[in-house]
Structure formats: C-alpha cells, structure tokens
Amino acid sequence: MDTSNSAHGAAAASSSSSLRRPNRWKYEVFLSFRGDDTRTTFTDHLYIALLKAGINTFIDYQLRRGENIESELDQEIEGSRIAVIVFSKRYAESRWCLRELSKIMRCLKDQEGKIVCPIFYDVDPSQVRKQKDSFGEAFQKHEKDEDPNEVKQWSKDLKASADLAGWNLKTTADGCEGVFIEKIVGDVKGLLKTTDFKEAKHSVGMAFRVQEFSTKYLDVGGSPNVQIIGIWGMGGIGKTTLARAVCINYQQSFSRQCYLEDVRSKKKEMVSMQEQLLRDILKQPDIKVSSVAEGTKEIKKRLGSMKVFVVVDDIDDVDQLDELAIEHESFGPRSRIIITTRDEHVLNIQKVDKKYKAQAMTEKEALELLSWYAFGNDYPDKEYIELARDIVDYCGGLPLALKVVGHLLATKKNKTIWESTLDKLRNIPDGKIHETLKLSYDGLCDDHVKGVFLDISCFFIGLGISFVTSILDGCSRFSVEA
C-alpha cells in the first residue's frame, strides 16, 4: 500500500470464560466501483484475486433480486471491515457511486475498526481530491440537477477519501495491472491480520479488571484525542496479563496494532523495537532503520495520521518512551497507547494522561487461580482447603506466585508433602518468584533508595505509613518523600 497519502463478585464468577469479543464483520472487503468503467475488467480481476486469497469479499451482483437495493447496500457497507473504492475516470458521473461513497465515509467516522482504501485506476489522486477534469465536469452537471447540499457533501467526501492511504496504478509496478492487483491483495491481507495475542490460560478475575480499565481509563469510542495510559504495580501482579486481555478485547476496533513486549530487558535492542513498531503499524515487513535517532524520527513522521493501538510493556526508563516517540503528536486521533511499568515515577510525566494501579487478587480469586493450577478445577479438594488458604496467604494475591506454586504442587497429591513444600517456600522462595520480585528491587534508582526499602522491609512490617515516615524523616540520611 502507498502510505505516503497519508459488580466485582459477579464478574469474578464468570472471569474464567474467554474475554474475546465475537467478530462483528460479515465481510472482510466491500468493493465500491462504477460498473460501466471496470465491472468486467479491473474490478472483476481484483474480486477474483481477493477470493482466491481467501478474503471474504462483497461485490454488488451478490444482492438479492427484489430487495431494497440501497438499503441492503448500506447494510453490506456497515458489515464490511474494509471498503475498497475503485476511482475510475467516470466514477463521479454516477450519483449512485457518490451516494455509496458518502455512506462509506460516514461509516469510517462512526464505526470502530473500519478501514477505507482508495484505488486510483487511470486517474490521479489530485483529480479526485480537487474535482478536476472528468470529476469537475461531472460535478458541474450534478450542481444543476441535484440537491446542492447533497452535492456539497459528495465533494467533501471525495476530497476526504482521496487523502486516505491507497494504491495508484500509475505509480505502482509501472502500470502493470496483474502486479498491481497482487500488491493490493497482499496489502489487504496485511490490514486484516491481527496481532496474535496469547490469552492467559486461566483468566480469573480478569473480566472485571478489563471492564473497569476499559470504562474508566481506555475510553475506546469516546474521546477523539490520543490517550496514553499507564498501568503500574509490582512484578507478578498481572500488569502484562491485563494489557494483553485489553488487546484481545479491542483488537477489532483498531486495524493498526503493535505489542512491544518486555522492553526493560531489550534496552540494547531499541532499533529492533522501533522497526517492529513501524512494521506492525504500517503493515510493511521490510522496514529498516539505521539508528535510534532515525527510528524516532521515522515513527513521528510516518504514524502521525494513523489511529493505532500500541502497548509498551514493562519499561523502567523514560528514555525508552522518548526513543519510541511515545507522545500525543506521534499518532493519529483516537489512538490508544498503554504503558506497563513497575515504577510509578516513570509515569509521572506530562505525556501520560491516566494511571491505573494494578490490583492484587482477592482471596476468593486467588484461591480459584491456585485451584486451577494445582487441581485442574476452580476449587480445592476438600482435604486441602485450609492448606490452600495458607498458600494463598503466602502468595499475597500475586497471580505469578499462585501460578508457580500451583504448578509446583500439582503433582504432589499427598497432604504431608504439601505441608512440607509450604514450609520450604516460606524459608527458601521459589526461584521464579524470587527473580521476578528481585527485579523490582534492582530497578530502584540508587543505593540510598534501596537502603530505605531494606530498612522498611526488615523493621517496619505492619506499621502505618505515617508512623514509618515520621521515624525515617527524623533520620538525617533519609529523604522518604523523594
């Protein structure tokens, strides 16, 4: 594609079920064209190529006889993920085509996830945009014969559609139609491809959290502004799981998505992450950048008009956001950017609009999650209930800890062994849990802050914040608020 044109209990009870929304689209592609110009030539060849590629495509001769054609066409436009408009020399002569175009452009504005792509077939985008030549002649006639307000809307919609990213026969493949059609089909397949997000095996409590996050923070379909939202909390609490669940729930609302995973551990691979962001959003697999500076510049230059959904997972440094050009001006209207981090301070910057603190699991949720991993069902075996509650208390509501311990205990069907394992864990934490929690400690900014953390952990467990703060503030070497 040529992109240069540019209630908690109730929710928890059902939370193990899939969060995925059903696909609302009847067709993947709707073809709009002027029949007299291209029906038996270019559009027919394109339609057959799309079908051969396995793309469910609507063309107008699929309409049922005797139906209200205009009403049925409107329904098919609304039910199609992508509308492809074939602009030919005599396209604007048809009032039917122009009314269909206006319906498509209304759907682009009103329907989340709708994509509209123009094809310029033997016409230049400027002819469509400015209504010149054959387009200008057609509009002179319409201005005499049609409702002036409707003609004005047609003109506005033509201009807006010509400004969209699309394909131009004259500037692609030296005008060779076969290669041109192959290019279009390949790009359409790319636009239809969604990010393959792996769902959590047991999404206990996640339905409630996704609903809360989506309603209070994400606001898809609400504000037209770019929204940057942070999710923060300690390691293993489920920040990444929540971000993935939100992606799964809303991927049909965004045709352009990117999930940048585990950014913290890839500091030396920033160029690769920049390339991934550009490739995933632009649907172009061969994008390369030579340096971090160039990558930042390209993101700002090429993505500024596009509605995107981006997740930047597990950052620990504001510089990472700067290098990925995570700011409002880098993306198009209605874009949503999610940042996950262990360090709330990373989000205390002007570019972040809202912050969501990830919550530990309730006792009921934690018991259910442990039970799925340890017993394969949603509640512990009767003789293990009290032990399971002790393990939930040990894990402190952390999903990662519950998963690791559940796996560890799954093969130990002897109550005595369970008791022994729990005693061992209390003295020697499991390696996976230890490493995850240690990352939060290692990520503290300096030895002074780490010292404060260790003093609080060793001497002030269970005491109130104000009491601990007053004691530490009395020590000249501490600056607790900082």
**Tokens matching residue 214:** 């989506």
60 assigned to some structural domain: yes
132 assigned to some structural domain: yes
What CA–CA distance (Å, rounded) separates 1 from 284? Answer: 8
Catalytic annotation, residues:
100
* Torsional sign, CA 58, 64, 69, 72: negative
**Tokens matching residue 317:** 């440094």
Pair (418, 461) in one structural domain: no
DSSP string, 214-245: IIIII-TTS-SS-EEEEEE--TTSSHHHHHHH
How buried is 303 (Cβ within 10 angstroms: 0-12 exposed, 13-18 middle, 19+ buried)?
buried
Partners of 312 in the β-ladder: 260, 339
DSSP string, 4-15: T---HHHHHHTT
pLDDT the model gives residue 32: 94
**Tokens matching residue 79:** 């039910």
pLDDT the model gives residue 3: 38
What CA–CA distance (Å, rounded) separates 90 from 337? Answer: 42
DSSP string, 246-276: HHHHHGGG-SSEEEE--GGGGGGGHHHHHHH
Pair (273, 294) in one structural domain: yes
Pair (43, 134) in one structural domain: yes
pLDDT the model gives residue 64: 56
Ramachandran angles phi, psi of 440, nearest 5° = -65, -40
What CA–CA distance (Å, rounded) separates 82 from 79? Answer: 9
Pair (57, 104) in one structural domain: yes
CATH at 283:
3.40.50.300
Residue 10's Cα: distance from chain center in Å? 27
Residue 347's Cα: distance from chain center in Å? 19
What CA–CA distance (Å, rounded) separates 130 from 112? Answer: 28
Range of the domain at 375: 363-434
Pair (311, 450) in one structural domain: no
- 460's CB contacts (< 8 A; 6+ apart) are 468, 471
How buried is 440 (Cβ within 10 angstroms: 0-12 exposed, 13-18 middle, 19+ buried)?
middle
Taking a C-beta distance cutoff of 8 angstroms, is the pair 12, 365 a contact?
Answer: yes
pLDDT the model gives residue 87: 96
pLDDT the model gives residue 84: 96
Residue 382's Cα: distance from chain center in Å? 42
13 assigned to some structural domain: no
Nearest to 231 by CA among 350, 58, 109, 352: 352
Pair (167, 133) in one structural domain: yes
CATH at 159:
3.40.50.10140
pTM over 0.85: no
pLDDT the model gives residue 379: 85
Q: What is the mean pLDDT of the chain?
A: 81
Pair (118, 220) in one structural domain: no
Nearest to 52 by CA among 72, 36, 29: 29
Q: Please give the angle made by the CA atoms of 437, 440 and 446, to the nearest 5 degrees.
A: 140
Pair (380, 342) in one structural domain: no
What CA–CA distance (Å, rounded) separates 274 from 289? Answer: 8
How buried is 247 (Cβ within 10 angstroms: 0-12 exposed, 13-18 middle, 19+ buried)?
buried
17 assigned to some structural domain: no
End-to-end CA distance of the chain: 50
Residue numbers of the chain with a pLDDT score lower than 70: 1-23, 62-67, 194-201, 411-413, 427-465, 467-482
Pair (72, 187) in one structural domain: yes
Domain count, the chain: 4
